[in-house]
Chain A
Amino acid sequence: MIRRLLVANRGEIAIRVLRAAKELGMMTVAVYSTSDRDSPHVEFADDAVCVGEPAPLESYLNINKLIDTAKMVCADAVHPGYGFLAENPAFARRCESARLTFVGPSSGTLSLVGDKLESRKTMRKAGIPVIPGMYTRVKDVKHCADEARGLGFPVLVKASLGGGGKGMRVVRRKEELGDALASGRREAKSAFGDESVYIERYIERPRHIEFQILGDRYGNIVHLFERECSIQRRHQKLVEETPSVALDSELRRKIGQLAVKAARSVGYTNAGTIEFLFDEEGHFYFLEVNARIQVEHPITESTTGVDLVKQQLLIASGEPLHLSQEDVSQRGHAIECRIYAEDPENQFLPSPGKIIYLHEPSGPGVRTDSGIRTGFEVTRFYDPILSKLVVWGEDRETARRKGVLALSDYVILGIRTTVGFLLDVLQHPAFIEGKTHTDFIERNMSGWSESGTDEHLNVALIASAIDSCRKSSTRRGPVTVWEETRNPWLTLGRWRTGHMRG
């Protein structure tokens, strides 16, 4: 079993991993940049080491610093979280050379699945449906145009080493191909250091459904069902849920088996996700492998009862999977809402600043995985995710209502966040009906504003007025109008001591 784990990440996921490690009896070490000195994840670990300046390249992405720190604290394992170095084959290789257990798949698997073209080829060979398209990179515009002609428009230009929508361009007519190729390449070069692109058929209004898998080092692989992640903005997920309304039990079983087959074909170990796209005719295609624990993992945990991060640590410790496919089942429905420090009224621009008041909702079936606290300073250096709200109910409608109540009670004052926006997403008729496609936000939420109803505004004014009254009253003197209402002797009404009633 791993004895001392270093968590090479920050914020909510660092706390999540530290928690699982502590539950397994491991010693824990956190790392932080100078701007994260007062961050909640730092205090959560047994030990914490400062690894550099705020800019990610100086700290959380600084492989040398992280490896040196792990050695210095005598860690025997490193968990990379998500983002940062989680899917970086070079980091995994350095851990392997330093004899540090990397909690994730091998560096070889990471290299393979990080290359979209290689993944497509591997999956096709394994008999898994892939989106019709190229299996080699685009050589020049003519090559690309020939391929596009064969596929039929619209097509999608994609970066071979890409993710997060960078380098992606939809092309609906052949005249647009040249420009799309050039700008896609530029973006790919700038984001990934490699301008390799390819094209595939563009799927309109897809549903984005992914399957969670767990694989141990002995060849045992299971899937833990799907997650529906179709509510997205600029290729960033905002709401996820499980189970998906688009799958019946037969389809679920069939795709689940394909997901396991896909994982096996790349020799996958530890936790990972196989992503699929569903078109409007009900066809589904392999999209990519996410070789990390994902942001939305809690919804799978809520419905299956399996602690995925603990499983990661057990697998990395060399334990065989104690779950078989028959052991895994789903119960109820879970929805996750991602709380970002962004202004939904201003194109979701980041909203750094100080959180002057925080109140997180609670109650049965309400989980908040959070990396913030009152007084926390959100900086402009990192991904703006603050926390995740995960609700569970016996069915989708119950979970949805719980989500609405929980969001109404999620208070983050001082910065703009996605809370108010998410509240309206969850109450939108299209959401209630399960019409979740990747264009949900464009179609249903454009022109959204935080103002809410007149009632919200009126109550805000009334509360401010009452509060101002209260504050000015206490300033006036010892006996004030305000003091009277606080004095129980004056408000109690008629009473007597020592006598029983009646």
Chain B
Amino acid sequence: MDFQFRIRGNIHRISVERKDGMYTVRHGDSEWTVEFNPSSENPLTLRVNGKVHRVYMAEAEGRQYVSIMGKQFCVERHEIRSGLSEAGGFGQASTVCPPMPGMVVNVNVVEGDIVEKNQSLAVVEAMKMENDLKSPMKGKVKKVHVSPGDLVDAGKPIIELEAI
């Protein structure tokens, strides 16, 4: 089986093959032999090339949170669409998300506005700190999902841009 996971902004393709009760997992040039204890729920106990790892996992809002040896990762599973490139060709879109949960203080643009790179799109406030959300590129505001006073989550798109 093939999977595509996104961790810390990077997409990784993983393939899993099962043979004789063992799993072979491949990622790029790397290959591992994996066994695991099927009755282990949380933590999942894995033996990767002979070394034992206990991995804790929990899912929320379609994202998998994983903890390994005290380090935490947020893993998003992406559907593999054969044939189509991720970028989608003409009209490449870009989403702007707040870096921390908070409340929208200001929205400085409306749909249809042309914006420059680093132009302030919105301001989000939390714990008395204000975060100015700047445009990552020159483009056109495709969609605005929030208004002042809305409470927002980190990583959830609040403004969508498209290239012009």
Using a CB–CB distance below 8 Å, which chain A residues touch chain B? 343, 346, 349-354, 356-357, 359, 380, 407-414, 416-417, 419-420, 423, 450-452, 456-469, 472, 481-482, 485-486, 491
Contact = CB atoms under 8 A, between A and B. Distances in A.
Contacts of B54: 409
B89 to A, nearest CB: 28
A137 B164 CA distance: 60
B71 A463 contact: no
> Of residues A343, A354, A450, A463, which shows the largest number of chain B Cβ atoms within 10 Å of its Cβ?
A463
Given A357-B42, A461-B5, 20 more contacts: A350-B127, A356-B59, A356-B60, A380-B101, A409-B54, A413-B65, A419-B70, A423-B70, A456-B73, A457-B7, A459-B46, A459-B48, A459-B55, A462-B14, A462-B46, A463-B46, A464-B3, A465-B1, A467-B44, A491-B21
Interface of B: 1, 3, 5, 7-8, 12, 14, 16, 18, 21, 23, 25, 27, 30, 32, 34, 36, 38-39, 42-44, 46, 48, 53-60, 64-73, 75, 77, 99-102, 126-127, 129, 153-154
B14 A465 contact: yes
A461 B58 CA distance: 14
Nearest to B22: A485
30 contacts: A343-B100, A350-B127, A351-B100, A359-B42, A359-B56, A380-B101, A410-B70, A411-B43, A412-B72, A413-B56, A413-B65, A419-B72, A452-B68, A456-B68, A456-B69, A457-B7, A459-B53, A460-B7, A460-B66, A461-B12, A462-B14, A462-B25, A463-B44, A463-B53, A464-B57, A465-B16, A466-B25, A466-B34, A468-B3, A469-B1
A356 B58 contact: yes
A461 B14 contact: yes
Contacts of A417: 72
B77 A464 contact: yes
B102 A357 contact: no
A483 to B, nearest CB: 10
Contacts of A410: 70
A423 B69 CA distance: 9
A32 to B, nearest CB: 20
A191 B38 CA distance: 55
Nearest to A407: B70
Contact of B100 (A349, A461, A466): A349
Nearest to A491: B21
A380 B102 contact: yes
Contacts of A343: 100
Contacts of A413: 56-58, 65-67, 72
A77 B49 CA distance: 60
B27 A458 contact: yes
Nearest to B32: A462
A458 B30 contact: yes
A193 B92 CA distance: 52
B46 A353 contact: no
Contacts of B71: 420, 423, 450-452, 456
B57 A350 contact: no
A463 B126 contact: no
Contacts of A461: 5, 7, 12, 14, 25, 27, 75
6 shortest A-B CB distances, which residue pairs?
Answer: A357-B58, A413-B65, A408-B70, A452-B71, A463-B55, A411-B67
Nearest to B67: A411
Nearest to A485: B38
Contacts of A380: 101-102, 126-127
Given A357-B56, A414-B58, A468-B77, A463 B66 contact: yes
Contacts of B53: 459, 463
A448 B146 CA distance: 33
Given A356-B60, A464-B3, A466-B23, A457 B73 contact: yes
B130 to A, nearest CB: 11
B64 A464 contact: yes
A243 to B, nearest CB: 26
A409 B46 CA distance: 15
A450 B8 CA distance: 10
A376 to B, nearest CB: 13
A4 B96 CA distance: 53
